[in-house]
Chains A and B, each alone.
Chain A
Amino acid sequence: MARISLDHIRHSYLANPSKDEDFALREVHHEWDDGGAYALLGPSGCGKTTLLNIISGLLHPSHGKILFDGRDVTNLATEERNIAQVFQFPVVYDTMTVYDNLAFPLRNRGVGEADVRARVNEVLEMIDLVGIADRKARGLTADLKQKISLGRGLVRADVNAILFDEPLTVIDPHMKWQLRSQLKLLHRQFGHTMVYVTHDQTEALTFADKVVVMYGGEIVQIGTPEELFERPSHTFVGYFIGSPGMNVLPVRLEGAVAHLGGQAIALPGAMEAGTDKRTELGIRPEYVRLGNTGMPVLVSKVEDIGRQKIVRAKLEGHDLAIVLSEDGVVPADPRVEFDPKGINIYADDWRIGTGG
């Protein structure tokens, strides 16, 4: 377990970076608590895998330092940092049995056989692989192999952090649920520092205590799943988190009222942005109430996704998504109201105020 500090880290894959675009990772400066479960969330190319590889030591940052518990480990090789990494596709030693796979890291460090046996059995119990301990790793399914990868990481009791690089990519949807909840349980029980990289917002939000949203090589927002959901500080975060993402509508601000086309939306307090900024109103589909009162909308499509319905509509010519319960109905004259709790105002994509 360790506290991980990222000290003004920047990274470029090019030899002589000159402009911002040359950097895969622009300024990252952050401290992560000991024992926390973090997710690095962002689209492809946002720099999350680069950051993960810098933490694990597989990549040396072109600028900046990284510290574990205050100790500078930037120049330490991977094996000396005492971290564990689970990759996108299962990496197991095919010729060894499950037991030997888990024992491998311990044996490489010269741990005695008796201790190895005790520890490996403990981990086998943790990840529920006791039944197949003696089987060769080769013929197993993807999810079992990923568990073995995870087990190899857990087997060293003094591991500083466990890093996950999109580990559920090759797993079937049903097994994803099991593995995810097992990871969460493991974290609750044993408290390792865990860093989980993904582009899937459901995975990130369910796993992490704190989510780091990245875009274009920078950290855009860090917060608990609830904070990111209720108060996204950037329209990108609003769009990226939640399925469907936040509705962003261009508005004109006038005191405590936001004007969208011909409609006036009351805001709980007065908002002001500079006259040269682009102002938008963000509201999540969950906070849009569909009923018989409010602003008129044109419904173009209703998608039934089982546990709820998503209504695609147009309000003053702008796309609006609304969440409706499983048994809900779209009224003949559909009108919407915005729940003030869910209103966020943005100027040039950054949040300037809220309605709640």
Chain B
Amino acid sequence: MDKTWNNKAWFMVLPMLVLVAFSAVVPLMTVVNYSIHDTFGNNQFFWAGTTWFEDVLSSSRFHDALLRNLAFSAIILIIEIPLGIFVALNMPRKGLGVPVCLVLMSLPLLIPWNVVGTIWQVFGRVDIGLLGHTMAAIGIDYNYVNDPFDAWVTIVVMDVWHWTSLVVLLCYAGLVSIPDAYYQAAKIDGASRLSVFRYIQLPKMNRVLLIAVLLRFMDSFMIYTEPFVVTGGGPGNATTFLSIDLVKTAIGQFDLGPAAAMSLIYFLIILLLSWVFYTVMTTYDAKG
């Protein structure tokens, strides 16, 4: 239903608009500018047109990084969503346990991302890290610096540890809103635990699950800080995601043009995929 307009409200939002314009819109325009010129950032611009875009899109380096991102997001979703649902189902819904569980679940989300990276970097070190040392002591050959597989495992586990709580909290909110009468009716009907999950809990969680999937996908696709702190993109190119590649190009190699082009392409990919998700979400909502 459309509400009546209140013009005074716009004035309240104005300071925020100015801030957003300054910190986001202006830099975005700068990047667009860089992507269509050849420049070293010293105010000398030579028109390059779509050169940088073509370069980036045809480079195998870009394709590899993109594939790594997609693989990473897929693995993350496959692990975190079911795990999140499972934990949410087993969290208490009434009584003293509730605030305790909620606080425990929120803790990983409160830690700054580079600190998360640092924690796992030290944690996984073979010489002084708790995990690394224990693995070596058991006899497992674990070294995330040298072994690409180990690096991947470390980053995946770190992301699961960091972000599953978000899925848990969202699903929990959905579960808590189910009235008791449904569980009572299921008891009376003699439904098994699995049936209760399938026919009562899952349908009611649908909406929040879609939000959780959308958020996790977007965040995992944009991942930068945590893997960078842990592996720096290595070993070799094993964990070089698009974001890390981008920064290397822009700052390491000082190729501002290609970097700008790549960031725009990156931005558009995320925008497209998010739009797809959003459309799916809203048509699903409208149907049901």
In the complex, is A directly touching B at CB under 8 Å?
A: yes
State A109–B195 Cα separation when bound (angstroms): 13
Pick from A83, A84, A89, A104: contact of B191, CB under 8 Å: A104
Taking CB atoms, residues of chain B closer than 8 Å to A109 are 190
Question: B270 at interface (Cβ–Cβ under 8 A)?
Answer: no
Known pairs A85-B188, A109-B190; list 15 more (Cβ under 8 Å): A56-B188, A58-B184, A58-B187, A78-B187, A79-B187, A88-B181, A89-B181, A93-B199, A95-B199, A104-B195, A108-B191, A108-B192, A108-B195, A138-B288, A152-B189
Q: Would you call B187 and A105 a contact (CB within 8 A)?
A: no
Question: A249 at interface (Cβ–Cβ under 8 A)?
Answer: no
Taking CB atoms, residues of chain A closer than 8 Å to B12 are none
Q: How far is the CB of A161 from chain B (nearest CB, A)?
A: 11
State A149–B188 Cα separation when bound (angstroms): 11
Taking CB atoms, residues of chain A closer than 8 Å to B188 are 56, 78-79, 83-85, 105
Q: Would you call A78 and B199 a contact (CB within 8 A)?
A: no
Q: Which residue of B lies closest to A153 (CB)?
A: B188
Q: Would you call A105 and B190 a contact (CB within 8 A)?
A: yes
Q: Would you call B185 and A87 a contact (CB within 8 A)?
A: yes
Q: Would you call B190 and A85 a contact (CB within 8 A)?
A: no
Q: How far is the CB of B96 from chain A (nearest CB, A)?
A: 15
Taking CB atoms, residues of chain A closer than 8 Å to B179 are 89
Q: How far is the CB of B238 from chain A (nearest CB, A)?
A: 43
Question: A77 at interface (Cβ–Cβ under 8 A)?
Answer: yes
State A93–B200 Cα separation when bound (angstroms): 7
Interface pairs A-B: 9 shortest CB-CB: A108-B190, A105-B189, A91-B185, A87-B181, A93-B199, A79-B190, A78-B187, A95-B203, A91-B181
Question: B182 at interface (Cβ–Cβ under 8 A)?
Answer: yes
State A56–B180 Cα separation when bound (angstroms): 15
Q: How far is the CB of B95 from chain A (nearest CB, A)?
A: 14
Q: Which residue of A lies closest to B195 (CB)?
A: A108
Question: A266 at interface (Cβ–Cβ under 8 A)?
Answer: no
Q: Which residue of A lies closest to B288 (CB)?
A: A138
Question: A94 at interface (Cβ–Cβ under 8 A)?
Answer: yes
Name B's A-contacting residues (CB within 8 A). Answer: 179, 181-182, 184-185, 187-192, 195, 199-200, 203, 288
Using known A-B contacts A105-B190, A108-B195, determine if residue A85 contacts B185 with beta carbons closer than 8 Å. yes
Taking CB atoms, residues of chain A closer than 8 Å to B200 are 93
State A95–B198 Cα separation when bound (angstroms): 9
A residues 47-103 in Cβ contact with B at 8 Å: 56, 58, 77-79, 83-85, 87-89, 91, 93-96
State A56–B200 Cα separation when bound (angstroms): 21
Taking CB atoms, residues of chain B closer than 8 Å to A93 are 199-200
State A54–B121 Cα separation when bound (angstroms): 57
Taking CB atoms, residues of chain A closer than 8 Å to B288 are 138
Taking CB atoms, residues of chain A closer than 8 Å to B182 are 91
State A79–B203 Cα separation when bound (angstroms): 23
State A89–B180 Cα separation when bound (angstroms): 11
Taking CB atoms, residues of chain B closer than 8 Å to A77 are 187
Interchain residue pairs with CB less than 8 A apart (23):
A58-B187, A77-B187, A78-B184, A78-B187, A78-B188, A83-B188, A87-B185, A88-B181, A89-B181, A91-B181, A93-B199, A93-B200, A96-B199, A104-B189, A104-B191, A104-B199, A105-B188, A105-B189, A108-B192, A109-B190, A138-B288, A149-B185, A152-B189
- Most central of B185, B189, B192, B203 by chain A CB within 10 Å: B189
State A77–B190 Cα separation when bound (angstroms): 10
A residues 203-220 in Cβ contact with B at 8 Å: none
Taking CB atoms, residues of chain B closer than 8 Å to A79 are 187-190
